[in-house]
Amino acid sequence: MKILVVGGGGREHALVWKLAQSPLVETLYCAPGNPGIARLADCVHIPADDIEALLDFALAEKIDLTVVGPEVPLTLGIVDRFQAAGLEIFGPNQAAARIEGSKSFSKDLMAKYAIPTAAYRTFTERDAAVAYIKAQGAPIVVKADGLAAGKGVIVAMSMDQAIAAVDDIMLDKVFGAAGASVVIEEFMEGEEASFFAFTDGRNILPLASSQDHKRAFDNDEGPNTGGMGAYSPAPVVTAALHDEIVATIVKPTIAGMASEGCPYSGILYVGLMIKDGRPRVVEYNARFGDPEAQPLLMRMKSDIVPVLQACARGDLRQDSIKWHDKAAVCVVMASGGYPAAYTKGFEITGLDNVLAMDDVMVFHAGTSLENGRVVNTGGRVLGVTGLGRTVAEAIACAYGAVAKIHWKGVHFRRDIGRKALNR
């Protein structure tokens, strides 16, 4: 069969890598792809948000299944357009993708269906938001309502910081239209974890546990990013906690979406805060996490294609996924300055040295090819992912590969996976 993957980041490289292993796949395309993906698939120079051009390509090439990586094309309605043209596509439709595209929609959903989360209020006026912050005090969390590439959440430890965040979002429009309204939430203490489940809108198929590292610097300091690393499995998610997450969060979410008239099909990401063994929802995403997809897909033993097809067809009957016993750790190597301004165009060296290493994959995220050289073109550049019998071995494997890769100003955290070791 012919498969098209939409996107060009680390998550899409991991998806292409996993899809390429399936005996069901004859031809793989990726739009727009990147230099790492080009080793495994034919890259098509169509932006991920150019829905009509993607549709024309899929029709012309008789694509059997399209897999959407990033959130933007989902919120623009790519699934609706492809389905209307009679094409199979994996991901939620535009109405269902609001679960990520609008934080106020997702918080209202949680409130209506008694899904545990932080107390919140939504504001469209700056002065009302500031008055609420002054009444609640700090710490407090300020979120741009719309999509902001994982950077629209400010955990404010003081009232001044919270008010400045509101001004940045609502007055200075640092996140553009995503900041037309803000959601202000109670600050939740605890340990974060990521939980994923495939679904056809009725049935669910949970994935293994994982944990992301959102802050830019070691010890969870600095601003929020799209993610600086991840590992799987996450010891904080015990077997009992896994069952509780499914029963009290995932199932009510899927049932609630169906009741709201927008059944959710695809993969659902639930960002969790866990304290005293009890999970609460931080946020939802309407797609694979990035960088969680990298360690999860490296650990996945089952063929992913039948699962994606079953979700797309509304007929998910599989009740489990087989996993490799090994742990996986992904370290994101970023451009210096990320998530703020950074310089791009520096040559990346050492990639060939890592190719010879066992149990390591380097997933390209923000790279391009210039005059035969791979250079950094994004904030998050590479997701260096290692396997090991334990999380400690996987950490050593990943960082051993990181040490071989260089470019000017490269930045990465040095504590990815440490929370797992502490357990």
Mean pLDDT in residue range 161-168? 95
The C-alpha atoms of residue 420 and residue 423 are separated, in whole angstroms, by 5
The C-alpha atoms of residue 253 and residue 262 are separated, in whole angstroms, by 11
Q: For tokens 């792809």, name the residue.
A: 33
Q: What are phi and psi of 41, to 5 degrees?
A: -145, 160
Burial-class residue 240 by CB neighbours within 10 Å (0-12, 13-18, 19+).
Answer: exposed
Q: How confident is the model at residue 246 (pLDDT cuts 50, 70, 90)?
A: very high
Burial-class residue 61 by CB neighbours within 10 Å (0-12, 13-18, 19+).
Answer: middle
pLDDT score of 152 more than 90: no
pLDDT score of 10 more than 90: yes
Among candidates 194, 203, 196, 195, which has minimal Cα distance to 311?
Answer: 203
Helix (H) or strand (E) holding 313: helix 305-313
Of 192 and 79, the one with more pLDDT: 79
Q: Is the peptide bond prior to 233 cis by the omega test (within 30 degrees of 0)? A: yes
| Spatial contact of 129 and 184, defined as CB atoms under 8 Å apart | yes
The CATH superfamily assigned to 125-180 is ATP-grasp fold, A domain (3.30.1490.20)
Tokens of residue 378, six digits? 């994004």
The C-alpha atoms of residue 312 and residue 294 are separated, in whole angstroms, by 22
| Spatial contact of 14 and 291, defined as CB atoms under 8 Å apart | no
pLDDT score of 224 more than 90: no
Listing from the earlier edge strand, what are the strands of the sheet with 360-364?
Answer: 211-212, 229-232, 327-334, 380-388, 360-364
Q: Could you report the per-residue pLDDT of 311-331, keeping only the tens digit for each?
A: 999 999 988 999 999 999 999
pTM of the prediction?
A: 0.94
Q: Could you report the per-residue pLDDT of 88-140, keeping only the tens digit for each?
A: 999 999 999 999 999 999 999 999 999 999 999 999 999 999 999 999 999 99
Looking at 57-71, 103-117, 150-164, 266-280, which range is the least confident one?
Answer: 150-164
Angle ∠(196,202,206) on CA atoms, nearest 5: 25
Q: How confident is the model at residue 279 (pLDDT cuts 50, 70, 90)?
A: very high
The C-alpha atoms of residue 153 and residue 296 are separated, in whole angstroms, by 25
DSSP string, 68-133: E-SHHHHHTTHHHHHHHTT--EES--TTTTHHHH-HHHHHHHHHHTT--B--EEEESSHHHHHHHH
The C-alpha atoms of residue 91 and residue 311 are separated, in whole angstroms, by 8
| Spatial contact of 87 and 272, defined as CB atoms under 8 Å apart | no
pLDDT of residue 69: 97
Q: How confident is the model at residue 22 (pLDDT cuts 50, 70, 90)?
A: very high
Give the residues across from 412 on adjacent strands. none
What CATH code is assigned to 2-94?
3.40.50.20
How much is the mean pLDDT over the chain?
Answer: 96
pLDDT of residue 178: 86
Among candidates 21, 58, 68, which has minimal Cα distance to 265?
Answer: 68
The C-alpha atoms of residue 100 and residue 75 are separated, in whole angstroms, by 8
Helix (H) or strand (E) holding 367: strand 367-370
What CATH code is assigned to 191-313?
3.30.470.20
Calculate the alpha carbon distances from 197 to 204, 244, 246, 298 in Å. Answer: 6, 14, 9, 16
Burial-class residue 172 by CB neighbours within 10 Å (0-12, 13-18, 19+).
Answer: exposed
pLDDT score of 149 more than 90: no
pLDDT of residue 423: 73
Give the residues across from 134 on adjacent strands. none
Mean pLDDT in residue range 142-149? 88
Listing from the earlier edge strand, what are the strands of the sheet with 27-32?
Answer: 42-43, 27-32, 2-7, 65-68, 89-90
| Spatial contact of 169 and 142, defined as CB atoms under 8 Å apart | yes
The CATH topology of domain 327-422 is Glycinamide Ribonucleotide Synthetase; Chain A, domain 4 (3.90.600)
Mean pLDDT in residue range 186-200? 95
Q: Is the dihedral of CA 300, 305, 306, 312 positive or negative?
A: positive
| Spatial contact of 170 and 200, defined as CB atoms under 8 Å apart | no
Mean pLDDT in residue range 184-196? 94
pLDDT score of 422 more than 90: no
Q: For tokens 């790492």, name the residue.
A: 36
Give the residues across from 258 on adjacent strands. none
User: Domain spans of the chain?
Assistant: 2-94, 125-180, 191-313, 327-422
pLDDT of residue 326: 97
| Spatial contact of 364 and 12, defined as CB atoms under 8 Å apart | no
